[in-house]
Structure 1
C-alpha cells in the first residue's frame, strides 16, 4: 500500500500540502448568518488539511434554510469570511467556500425578514428541522420558482462566487448533493415542473449545469468544483429509475466544463449500483475527484487513493474533535471522540464548546500532565 495521502499534490494549478480535505460540515455558529472570529479559529485549527471546504453557505437570503448558517451575498458576510480565509492562508492551507441553497429544506423561522422558502415545485419534504424559537418543526411547503426566478437563482450563485474571491477564497464548491436545491431539480420526486427545467433527464439537469457554468464563467473553471451524491436518499430524495442515466449525463457535461474537481459522496456500501455509478463517473470525469464518506483511517484513505476512484479524500466527523487530524493519522495517534450534542448547538460554556474547544493531541497530553 502506498502512503501518498500525506504527500503534496495539486488541484488544477493550486498546490496542496497533502491529499486530505476537510469535508463541508454545517456547524451552525454563524449568528445572524455572518461569519465570525470563532469560525475563523475553527478553520484555522484544521488548516493542516491540504484543502478546506467550508460549511454550506447560502448564495441568497432565500437559501438560509437552517438556523445560524452563514451566507455570502452581502458586504458584512464578505468581511466575516475574510477572517477565515486570512487565518487559513496564514497556516499555508487552501480553502473553497461551499455554496448551498437549501431549497425546500427550510423553515420560515430560520429565514430573515423578506426571505421565503422556494424550490423547483411546491412539494414539502418529509421530516423536521430545528428552529431556535420553536425547536423541531415540520418542513412547510415551499413556493415553486417561476422560470424567470430559476434563471435569477443561477445568477445569484454566480454573484456569490465573485464575492467569494473578494473574501479571499481560493475557489467555490457548488453543493449539488444531500437533497438541497440542486438535487431537488435533479430528482423527479421533488421536481414536477413542465417548463425547460422539468421532465426529461436533460431538463432536470439544466439548473445544475447552468449554475455551475455561470460560476465557472464568473471565477474560472480552475476555481470551481461541485459535490454530488447519487443514490443518497437524504432529505427525502427517493431513488428513481434514471439515476444512472442522470449522473452519466452530468459527468459528461461537467467534464466539458473542465472543472477543478468533482466531490463525490461515497455510497458504495449501499451495494453494487452506487459502486458502479462511481466507476462510471470516474470513467467520464477525468479531472480530479474528491471522495467523501467513511474514510477515517489511513488504510481506508490509502486504499481509496490507490483504487483510482479518488485523487483526494475528504474527511468529516473525525475533524470535529481532532483539529490535528492529519498529524494524528500520519503518526498513528488515537482519535478523540466527539460530542454529537454540540454539532449544531452550544454546550454549557457557549458556542465554542464542541467547536473550537477540542485540543490537539499535544495539548491533550500537556493537559493530562498538568492536572
Structure 2
C-alpha cells in the first residue's frame, strides 16, 4: 500500500504539495551553449508535473562553479528568461518546482568558464581530486585555490542573488545543494576542509559558510521557500572521517532552529551505513532533525511509503525512475508496472 504518498503535505503556510512524491534533482547536461534552458527541458519537466514537487537539475550560481558540460545557469538574463519558460509550463500543468542552486567547488574545471575571465578553481582548501572529469575524460581535475575570506563573502552574496534570480524566473523556491561532494559539502568534511582559520578545524567553523548561505538566502527569499540538501556520510569524491560526525551534529542542530521548507538527504543508496554516523544517513539525520525531511536513495514507492509510515522521513524523492517514467506518479497510484531505467536514457530528454 502506498496511500500515504498521495496525501497533500504542507511544507509551511506558503507551500502545500499535492502529494509526498518529489522528483529528485537529476543532472542532464542538456542546456544550450550559453547554459540557457531549452524548450525540450521545459517539456521534460512539464511531463513530470504531477510530482508533489520537482527539484530541478542543479543550476549554477556563477560561471566558475561549472564542472560538467551544458549544465544550466541562473546568473544571466537569458538564463532567467529560459527558466521562466520552464516554470510557467510546470505551473500551467499544476506542478510546483524548486531550483537546486549549485557551485561544484573543486569539481569545477576552467575549460567551462575561461571565457568569463576566470581560470581558477576554488574550494575550501588546496586539495584536488585525482583523475579526469566523468563526462569529459580528456580533462583532468585541477588543484583548487583555497578561497579567501573576501571570496567567501562574495560567494554568500552570489548564492543569495541566484536565489532571487530563481524567484524572478518563477520558481516556487530553492534547494541549496549542500551535498554530494560539491562546494558547500566540501566545507563540511575534514578530508576536503583543512583550513586553520574561522572556516576550519572545529564544527562551528566548518559549518560557518554553509549556514551563512542558508541565512542569506532565507533573508532574501524567505525561509519558507528555502530547502537544503546535505550529505553527512562522505561517499562521493571524498574520504569519510570520524570527526565529520561532530560537524553534522552541530549543523543539524542549527538547522533545526531555522524552520526551512525541508532538509533533503544526499545519498545514492540509503541502505549504505556509516560507522561514524551509527547507521544510514537518513536515520542519523532523523535522530537530530525533527522537521520536514526528504528521504532518497534507491527507494521504491513501497519502501518509501513504509519509511514515511514509520516516521523515518516525511517526503520521498525519486530519481532515475522519473527519467524512465515521466508518468511515475500515475503509474504508482494506479499500480502499473514501471519502465526500468537504463543509462541509454541519458542521451535524450523524454
TM-score norm. by structure 2 comes to 0.93
Residue 130 of structure 1 and its aligned partner are, at CA, apart by 4.5
Summarize deviations over 1:15-39 as a string: whole Å, max 9, x none: 2111000000100001221112111
Moved more, 96-105 or 258-267: 258-267
From the superposition, tell whether residues 206 and 272 of structure 1 become closer, same or farther in structure 2 (CA, over 3 Å). Answer: closer
- Cα separation, 1, equivalents of 2:287 and 2:272: 20
- Given the alignment of the two structures, is residue 239 of structure 1 paired with residue 240 of structure 2, yes or no? yes
Residue 125 of structure 1 and its aligned partner are, at CA, apart by 1.1
- Cα separation, 2, equivalents of 1:184 and 1:341: 31
Summarize deviations over 1:131-173 as a string: whole Å, max 9, x none: 66xx442211122211110111011000110111100001010
- Given the alignment of the two structures, is residue 314 of structure 1 paired with residue 317 of structure 2, yes or no? yes
- Cα separation, 2, equivalents of 1:341 and 1:145: 38
SS in structure 1 of the partner of residue 106 of structure 2 = coil
State the partner residue of 1:331.
334
- Given the alignment of the two structures, is residue 15 of structure 1 paired with residue 19 of structure 2, yes or no? no
- Cα separation, 2, equivalents of 1:63 and 1:167: 20
- Given the alignment of the two structures, is residue 155 of structure 1 paired with residue 157 of structure 2, yes or no? yes
- Given the alignment of the two structures, is residue 279 of structure 1 paired with residue 280 of structure 2, yes or no? no
Moved more, 104-113 or 70-79: 104-113
State the Cα RMSD in Å: 1.7
Residue 283 of structure 1 and its aligned partner are, at CA, apart by 3.8
State the partner residue of 2:251.
250
Correspondence list, 1:349-368, <5 A: 353=348, 355-356=349-350
Is the contact made by 2:180 and 2:266 (CA closer than 8 Å) also made in structure 1?
Answer: no
- Cα separation, 1, equivalents of 2:100 and 2:89: 18
How many residues in Structure 1 have an aligned counterpart in Structure 2? 343
Residue 110 of structure 1 and its aligned partner are, at CA, apart by 2.4
Summarize deviations over 1:222-245 as a string: whole Å, max 9, x none: 00000011213212x111122222
SS in structure 1 of the partner of residue 105 of structure 2 = coil
Is the contact made by 1:290 and 1:313 (CA closer than 8 Å) also made in structure 2?
Answer: yes
- Cα separation, 1, equivalents of 2:234 and 2:95: 30
SS in structure 2 of the partner of residue 125 of structure 1 = coil
Residue 299 of structure 1 and its aligned partner are, at CA, apart by 1.6
Is the contact made by 2:64 and 2:110 (CA closer than 8 Å) also made in structure 1?
Answer: no
Residue 2 of structure 1 and its aligned partner are, at CA, apart by 6.0
Residue 276 of structure 1 and its aligned partner are, at CA, apart by 5.9
